Structure 1
Amino acid sequence: MSPSVPLQEMIRAIRSARTQCEERGVIQRECAAIRAQFRQSDNGGRSHNLAKLLYVHMLGYPAHFGQMECVRMIASPRYSEKRVGYLGAMMLLDEKQDASLLITNSIKNDLSHSNQYVQSLALCTLACMGSAEMCRDLAPEIDRLLRASNSYIKKKAALCAVHIVRKVHDLGELFTPAARSLLAEKNHGVLHGAVVLITELCERNQETLERFRKTVPDLVQIMKGLVISGYSPEHDVAGISDPFLQVRILRLLRILGRNNEGASDAMNDLLAQVATNTDSTKTVGNAVLYETVLTVLHIKSESGLRVLAVNILGRFLLNNDRNIRYIAMISLQKIVGTDHNAVQRHRGTIVDCLKDQDASVKRRALDLSLALVSASNVRSMMKELLLFLSSCPPELRAQAASGTHTDETVPNLIQLITNASELHCYTVHKLYRALLTDISQQSLVQVACWCIGEYGDLLLRGECQETEPVQVTEDDVLDALETVLQSHMSSPATRGFALTATMKLSTRITDNVDRIRSIVSIYGSCIDVELQQRAVEYNALFRKYDHMRAAVLERMPVIEKNSPGHTNGESTGEPIKDIQTLKVKQGEPLLPQQPANQVLTLTQMHVELSYLIFSAAPTVQVYEKAGVALTLSCEKQSDSGLTVTLTASNSTDSDISSFTLQAAVPKSVQLHMKAPSGDSLPARGAAKVTQMVVLNNPNKVGLTHTHPQSCDSQSHVSQDQ
């Protein structure tokens, strides 16, 4: 191939290559010819050769040997060579290359060139690949061009200033006065560059943000002019006047109005006008409306305006474009916590999106539907959600679960089911059917196993007013749980739910207790330690403590969730880790670290005894906060008697007077509290207060599921000065 081959012919030769090896041969020959011409001092086709080299670079082949040629061509007085040289610099050079520093002086000279197009080339190159050193050296030149009379140059200079501010944050103060003056321009390109520059300055400096809040009226006036302006062929896009500038102004207003009532009030009327006058039948109009909604939701806007914004998102849900529906649900998901009632008005439309054919839209609709579940709509929402889970393909359900599952999903759903007592029968029937259909969705399987264990008797009755009754036998239920236990898809946690459900069914069925005992005994030698421990404890219930099994496995009480990890003194339903351990759970004081003359109340000091409560237990420290420590030691007196010694001490610098201890036990347990050794706690542990408590459990009733409804009083420690 001769050195004078035109660019078009080289491209044709490369495209006609039948193999990659043939293509490499063509490019290697051409690159060799280009190198030879670069070495010639008198080369009239430099721009032609560099253009060919840039095409080779775009194909992914090495072209670094053309960097110095770019530097020489940028310094050329000819515009045709400068143009290709600057293009080559933007493609072949970056701030990590030493050669980039060599063009700094050429760019500085071209920024002062009499030809606006040469100035534009220099501005574009600096904005594309200017290093921090180049930006510091050339920033004064850019500030000068921002004040030029040529609108074309001011537009390019504004965008170049954005790059400089991103590279060197300290230079933002240099461009602030010029950026403020650019808002008075009539040229849309200059306004667009000015708004982008001001946005960058405000995001990086709080003082600059406060200064530009004074420009909100000017921005509002510019935006109004765009909204009410007539048809302009130069700026019209699908009937919207310069939507690009509108979007940029709305984003800047969002920043200026955040956490500022004055600025927010100044733009409320404008946002209402944009929201009501923008055409929503075109994608361009929807883009402007979407930015308007985001601005309304991020500033201190009026309540009516926020409702209008949510209604716009509701209209987006009815759009035929799935992308618009998708972003609408993402936005609603972000605001459902703050504007829950406004989002609830569109619950029907959101639920309808569960039937969409697009999997990503379904997933977002499922997230939003779960967030809208409340006590008032739980009945209808549960029906819709269960219908969705039962109708969509298994792989889609698994995909949806993977996108929405969190550590709180299962306990939150269990709490929701527990509190809705009127839906227990309906829920256990629906979840049982879902379990038979698919066991790949672990979260749903765990909840289904829990419900079958708790409400298995309701399932076996076959009576349910809200769904078609299905006759289910004891063997059918046990077969379903065994399938979960034996499936390779079941995680260890899911097997734990299934094993506990199987054990609980031993008190809810009559004819298959031996089969349950056999299933449980198999897992006594399971390789999973947690599952093995559960099975060993459950086997102990069958063998040695069968008389207590019904009490230990009774139905869980209503869970009143107070805070993470606290349940108002009620049993959490956790598996018994060690049947010979005295369990103590304590909550946090309402007034932590208060002085001794304040009232200190434990919201929870719930002593939970296992069903071997009357075996020997060591001394346990159950409370230590604000200088007060409380220890508990147990001593076995008989098969049904236990003596508990409570010891309190005070490590603060002040004495505590009127100190009392109170305890709560189930009504089936007899409690006798002897007189304390004193009613004051001396400072710095000088003396301790002890009190004996005698417990009698003649019926040997398990205390695992103690809850406030069955207690004489709430446990607490009080101290007064």
Structure 2
Amino acid sequence: MALSGMRGLSVFISDIRNCQNKEQERLRVDKELGNVRTRFKNEKGLTPYEKKKYVWKMLYIYMLGYDVDFGHMEAVSLISAPKYPEKQVGYIVTSCLLNENHDFLRLAINAVRNDIIGRNETFQCLALTLVGNIGGREFAESLAPDVQKLLISSSCRPLVRKKAALCLLRLFRKNPDVVNADGWSDWMAQILDERDLGVLTSSMSLLVALVSNNHEAYWSSLPKCVRILERLARNQDVPQEYTYYGIPSPWLQVKTMRALQYFPTIEDPNTRRSLFEVLQRILMGTDVVKNVNKNNASHAVLFEALSLVMHLDAEKEMMSQCVALLGKFIAVREPNIRYLGLENMTRMLMITDVQDIIKRHQAQIVTSLKDPDISIRRRALDLLYGMCDVSNAKDIVEELLQYLSSADFAMREELSLKIAILAEKFAPDLSWYVDVILQLIDKAGEFVSDDIWFRVVQFVTNNEDLQPYAALKAKEYLDKPAIHETMVRVSAYILGEYSHILARRPGCSPKEIFSSIHEKLPTVSTSTIPILLSTYAKILMHTQQPDPDLQNQIWAIFRKYESCIDVEIQQRAVEYLELSKKGAVLKDVLAEMPKFPERQSALIKKAVETEADTADQSAIKLRAQQQTSNALVVTDQHLTNGSPPVNQLGLVKIPTMSNVDNSSADEGVTQANGTLTVVDPQPQPSSTPSPDLLGDLLSPLAIEGPPAGGNQADTNLASDAKGAPMPPEALALAPVEEQTNTVQPIGNIAERFHALCLKDSGVLYEDPYIQIGIKAEWRAHHGRLVLFLGNKNTAPLASVRALVLPPTHLKMELSLVPETIPPRAQVQCPLEVINLHPSRDLAVLDFSYKFGTQAVNIKLRLPAALNKFLQPITVTAEEFFPQWRSLSGPPLKLQEVVRGVRPMPLLEMTNLFSSLQLMVCPGLDPNANNLVISTTFYSESTRAMLCLIRIETDPADRTQLRMTVASGDPALTFELKEFVKEQLVSIPTATPRPAMPAPSQPRAASPPPVASDPGALLAGLL
């Protein structure tokens, strides 16, 4: 009987492995599930052994990825079985199928408790393992006292006690109240006298959690931790099985030092001396070897020791040893060690006594800026920023400026901001500061915020000695053939105010300065033209001897802009023209700017506040910043996935210019009353977008998120009935393959939907009884879809119902759907669609029918996606550039760096855009790695709206690109940008955002990660 049962399980696994396709596998699984369900209904006739066999099959099916929504009670009941084989199966399957909130789990609490308090150690281990994996608050309240007794029991074997320690850790995390600190602290100290390193390691994990919650109650454990470190450092009584590559239990050493960092100080001199001797031994005895595993273990111990040394504020001599050791590590070839060396050296900057020692390694740190690994480059940048002071500011800023030209554009915004802060904080003289900022704007103008050039204007205005030098440098930059628009702004402003100082210098006459500035006018956007008009007026005012030719040229420009559509430009042109005809009045109105009141720069203020926040960080806060991981060597997860770095020292970090605090308008230069003035602070949104910088293909904008100030109805931000924003998960429609139906679909529903988003006819859904096809026609903002409902069987489909759930931006009307579809027949149901305004939301088709006793209900996304209302159009350079410049900035023009893109050649990317109704226009961008795209969007609110897109790719890293989208409607710009980003990131199975959630059956638990062949795992258990 036993062999036959096991043979049946083996045959089932073999059948699954031999299936030729997914459909065969699904049919075989459905057959087996039906058989198991039938046998469970007649549970009284099942022996415990047969129940075990069928529960194994359920687990195997679950491991294959299929939902198992029955049989949970049978699995839980096996926990109470008297024999080990059935009890083992009950515990394993329950752990896999159920989560901590499942109702059936409550039924097992008594059975689990009986095993914990029983005398069978094997059963105790099974119970503790279950509770340690899925135990919740109810388990914590019911079982914590019993688990505590097992941990402190001297009669239990170490195997049981170490499981009890880890189990108690799980229960403490679920409910901290189950461990009473007053009564447990003495017991915890006694446990640390344990000689078995397995029990000690598990108990130390528990202690770390306890002291992080309340270190005051566990002072008695501190000297015990120091003794444990002494024992391990001297390799006393350490069994061979706990020695890893010659290192005595590195896991226990790391956890013990981590626990010590939660205690604020060590008062006892003997304990402190013993601890420093251990740390000294670790610092002196660690080196880089060829064996990677030994390196990982030894350096995990070393870097935890460094953290403890910094926490304890050790003597300067030991700190110097730490810095010297880190200096050696940042020069090794292994990137993980270099990264950790730079990170820990940055943390050591908080200790004032060692900053001069860190400066000795400046050359090696600068070399790290050129490392191939971007995470190391970021850590080197943070370290250079933190170690900069008056003594080395010139060298560091010069190195950063040189690095700026070759830095990834993902780092340039942060790099530019840090250079500006360092230049202002540590400038030896103001002329050097002006040189640095102008170089910065020249090298990376698109990444320089307005705050930076506003600050230069303040310094130049407030220092008369600086004005001739600044004006001369501005003239030199203006004479370059191509400069960034930000450079045009700052140069024009400075020359407008102080160009008359240079009048006697060769090449600096008013007419020559006017010509230098006016040459840049065709290249700038509308936001810069008002500054240039003010500059022209001031040049005219400062002209000592009347120059009719110059006057006529400037008046011609004013007349040209008198009818400009931009109100600001038009008003300035009219007023300047009239004022310039009145002679002396112009000098009164455009008098030289007065000095600004002394106030701290927004950038310096940000830096000071950030440094102040980190100056008093306790060990607990520092520990909370570090990533929770059991790995011996932890890499920076934020950097591997392309996210902004977590900065331990609070150094200024700015992933996009939209994150710069532009609210401090005390440094802002505004344009009013015909002059540039500095205004008092006004509250502004924290995500105030930067203006368009060039207005041509080279213009980079940095703005992420929906357009500021946009109408919620226009941008389709979902909200509940009260107007509050809905959580993101509420916007996601449950994938159809997760909907619980006894009738399973044929083929992948998501893939069918995606295919129909790219073409106009095909199959939307199919199962054994019905096929739903779609044929569509799209004209401007109108669409007509025909649903083809085909009955595949010889019996009719009854109770047919179809309901379209449209989003707010689509007006949809579905013709009457017949209640019955005859055998082997097909009915056609037209669906009219009108697009009201831009949105990525999707309509949902709620469809149901009955076939015999089978009732099927499905919810399908309809492919009326955003791209269906696009019409590709080819534009020439003469048509493209004026339109691109006219869309001068957010919210009409948005830019974002997109990461996580599937690497693909430009030709493949071009084909993808063509399938989305986006026309790639060759020859408009001089860079062969970039694409310029045009299309027309149709909706009832926008009518025909031209949309322009620029894609900038990085040949060295095809997984990221920069995308700029422009149109005449803010909502359209944002929605189109997000739509294209979704297509690039979610290839090949893009899933556009649906309009509303669809109900789905709750699952018992998310599937655990399993091997590619679950049958092999079951075979091992059998």
Tell me, yes or no, whether TM beats 0.5.
yes
The structure 1 residue matched to 2:447, chosen from 441, 447, 452, is 441
Does 2:127 correspond to 1:122? yes
Deviation for aligned residue 1:502 = 6.2
Deviates more, 1:304-313 or 1:215-224: 304-313
Q: Distance in 1 between matches of 2:569 and 2:121?
A: 78
1:350–1:365: 8 Å Cα contact kept in structure 2? Answer: yes
Superposed counterparts of 1:580-595, under 5 Å: none
In the alignment, what sits opposite 1:373? 388
Write the distance in 1 (CA, Å) between the matches of 2:370 and 2:186: 54
User: Please, which of 220, 226, 237 is the counterpart of residue 220 of structure 1?
Assistant: 226
- Asked if 1 retains the 8 angstrom alpha-carbon contact of 2:471 and 2:499, the reply is no
1: distance between equivalents of 2:305 and 2:184? 28
2:479 to 459, 468, 476: 476
Give the conservation status (yes or no) of the 8 Å contact 1:317–1:325. yes
Residue 319 of structure 1 pairs with residue 321 of structure 2: no
C-alpha displacement of 1:255? 1.3
**Structure 1 residue aligned with 2:136, among 119, 128, 131?**
131
| Distance across 2 between alignment mates of 1:566 and 1:324 | 29
User: Contact conserved, 1:86 with 1:125, CA < 8 A, in 2?
Assistant: yes
Larger C-alpha radius of gyration, 1 or 2? Answer: 1
Question: What is aligned with 1:146?
Answer: 151
Q: Paired residues, what number?
A: 552
Whole-angstrom distance in 1 between the partners of 2:52 and 2:513: 91
**CA pair 546-428 structure 1, distance change in 2 beyond 3 A:** farther
Q: Kindly state the Cα deviation for residue 217 of structure 1 after the two structures are TM-superposed.
A: 2.3
Secondary structure of the corresponding residue to residue 113 of structure 2: helix
2:188 corresponds to: 179
Is the 8 Å Cα contact of residues 90 and 125 (structure 1) preserved in structure 2? yes
Q: Residue 188 of structure 2 contacts residue 221 of structure 2 at CA under 8 Å; is this kept in 1?
A: no
Paired residue type of 2:275? M
| Separation in 1, partners of 2:347, 2:589 | 47
Whole-Å separation in 2 of the counterparts to 1:270 and 1:93: 46
Counterpart position of 2:63: 58
- Match of 2:344, SS state, is helix
- The alignment partner of 2:339 has SS state of helix
Residue from 90, 110, 115 that aligns with 1:105:
110
Counterpart residue number, 1:199: 208
* Letter of the 1:484 counterpart: E
Report the CA distance shift for 1:552/1:56 in structure 2 as closer, same or farther (over 3 A).
farther
> What is the rounded CA distance, in whole Å, between the counterparts of 1:233 and 1:566 in structure 2?
51
C-alpha separation in 2, matches of 1:289 and 1:302: 18
1:514 corresponds to which residue? 514
- SS across alignment from 1:62: coil
Map of 2:306 onto structure 1: 293
Looking at secondary structure, tell me which structure has more helix per residue: 1
Cα distance 1:68–1:583, how it changes in 2: closer, same or farther (>3 A)? closer
For the pair 1:159 / 2:166, whether they are aligned, the reply is yes
Counterpart of 1:88, as a letter, is: V
Change over 3 Å in CA distance of 1:558–1:95 after alignment to 2: closer
Q: Tell me which residue corresponds to 2:669.
A: 575
Asked whether the equivalents of residues 146 and 178 of structure 1 are also in contact (C-alpha less than 8 Å), the reply is no
Equivalent pair of 1:332/1:343 in contact (CA under 8 Å): yes
Unmatched 5+ residue regions in structure 1?
Answer: 463-470, 486-493, 587-721
In the alignment, which residue of structure 1 is the partner of 2:367? 352
Distance 1:304 1:536, change over 3 A: farther
Equivalent residue number for residue 274 of structure 1: 282
Counterpart for residue 401 of structure 1: 412
What is the Cα deviation at residue 163 of structure 1? 1.4
| Equivalent position to 1:35, from 34, 37, 42 | 37
Q: How does 1:424-573 map to 2 (within 5 A)?
A: 427=436, 430-431=439-440, 434=443, 439-443=445-449, 476-477=479-480, 479-481=481-483, 483-484=484-485, 497=490, 500=493, 503=496, 506-507=499-500, 508=502, 509-510=508-509, 511-515=511-515, 516=517, 520-521=532-533, 547=587, 552=592, 564=605
Q: Tell me, in whole angstroms, the C-alpha distance in 1 between the residues paired with 2:210 and 2:244.
A: 29
Between 1:148-157 and 1:3-12, the stretch displaced more is 3-12
Counterpart CA distance in 2 for 1:252 and 1:102 is: 37
Task: Choose from 237, 244, 248 the match for 2:251.
Answer: 244
Pair 200,42 (structure 1): closer, same or farther in 2 beyond 3 Å = same
Among 73, 95, 99, the residue aligned to 2:100? 95
Deviation at 1:274, TM superposition (A): 2.1
Q: For 1:366 and 1:554, how far apart are their aligned partners in 2?
A: 38
Deviation at 1:61, TM superposition (A): 1.5
Identify if the C-alpha distance between structure 1 residues 12 and 524 changes in structure 2 by more than 3 Å, giving closer, same or farther.
farther
| CA distance in structure 2 between the partners assigned to 1:433 and 1:585 by the alignment | 29
Pairing 1:330-341 to 2, within 5 Å after superposition: 330-339=343-352, 340-341=355-356
Structure with the bigger RCO (C-alpha within 8 Å, sep 6+) is 2
C-alpha distance after superposition, 1:493-543 (max 9, x if no partner): x88656535645744542434344775238999888899999999989977
Asked if the contact 1:183/1:218 (under 8 Å) is kept, the reply is: yes
Deviation for aligned residue 1:160: 1.1
Alpha-carbon distance between aligned partners in 1 of 2:425 and 2:186, rounded to the nearest angstrom: 58
Q: Is the 8 A contact 2:385 2:422 kept in 1?
A: no
Query: Does structure 2 conserve the Cα–Cα contact (< 8 Å) formed by 1:70 and 1:89?
Result: yes
Matches within 5 A, 1:556-705: 564=605, 574-575=668-669, 578-579=672-673
Cα drift, residue 118 of structure 1: 1.1
8 Å contact from structure 1 (residues 332, 368) kept in 2: yes
* Structure 1 partner of 2:175: 168
User: Does structure 2 retain, via aligned residues, the 8 Å contact 1:74–1:85?
Assistant: yes
Q: What one-letter code is carried by the residue in structure 2 that aligns with 1:313?
A: L
Distance 1:384 1:278, change over 3 A: same
| TM-align CA RMSD | 4.4
- When residues 259 and 245 of structure 1 are mapped into structure 2, their CA distance, relative to the original with a 3 A threshold, is closer
AA matched with 2:65 = G
Give the Å deviation of 1:104.
0.7
How far 1:386 moved relative to its partner?
1.5
**Larger deviation: 293-302 or 123-132?**
293-302
Kindly, what percent of the aligned residue pairs are identical? 27
Taking structure 1 as reference, are residues 373 and 3 closer, same or farther at Cα in structure 2, changes over 3 Å only? same
Amino acid at match of 2:592: V
Task: Write the distance in 1 (CA, Å) between the matches of 2:422 and 2:138.
Answer: 58
Unaligned runs of 5+ in 2: 290-294, 461-465, 503-507, 522-528, 534-556, 609-664, 682-1022
Q: CA deviation at 1:320?
A: 2.2
Q: Tell me whether 283-292 or 18-27 shows the greater mean CA deviation.
A: 18-27
- Cα distance change of structure 1 residues 499 and 301 upon mapping to structure 2, 3 Å threshold: same
SS for the counterpart of 1:320 is coil
The 1:19/1:584 distance shift into structure 2, 3 A limit, reads closer
Deviates more, 1:356-365 or 1:503-512: 503-512
My pick for the range that moved more, 422-431 or 146-155, is 422-431
**Contact 1:142-1:161 at 8 Å conserved across structures:** yes
Q: Deviations over 1:408-458 (max 9, x none)?
A: x576356258653463686478447626xxx44335996599599968976
Which residue is 1:47 aligned to? 52
For 1:513 and 1:379, locate their aligned partners in 2 and report how far apart those are by CA, in whole Å. Answer: 31
1:62-82 CA deviation, whole Å, 9 max, x = no partner? 123131112111011111111
Q: Secondary structure at the match of 1:318?
A: coil
CA–CA distance in structure 2, aligned partners of residues 345 and 444 of structure 1: 35
Equivalence for 1:621: none
Task: Tell me the residue number matched to 2:543.
Answer: none
1:152 is displaced (CA, Å) by 1.2
Question: Counterpart of 1:512 in 2: which secondary structure?
Answer: helix
Query: Matches of 1:68 and 1:450 in 2, distance apart?
Result: 73
Q: Which letter maps to 1:575?
A: V
Q: Distance in 2 between matches of 1:578 and 1:413?
A: 32
Choose 439-448 or 363-372, whichever is displaced more: 439-448
Question: Which AA in structure 1 matches 2:479?
Answer: D
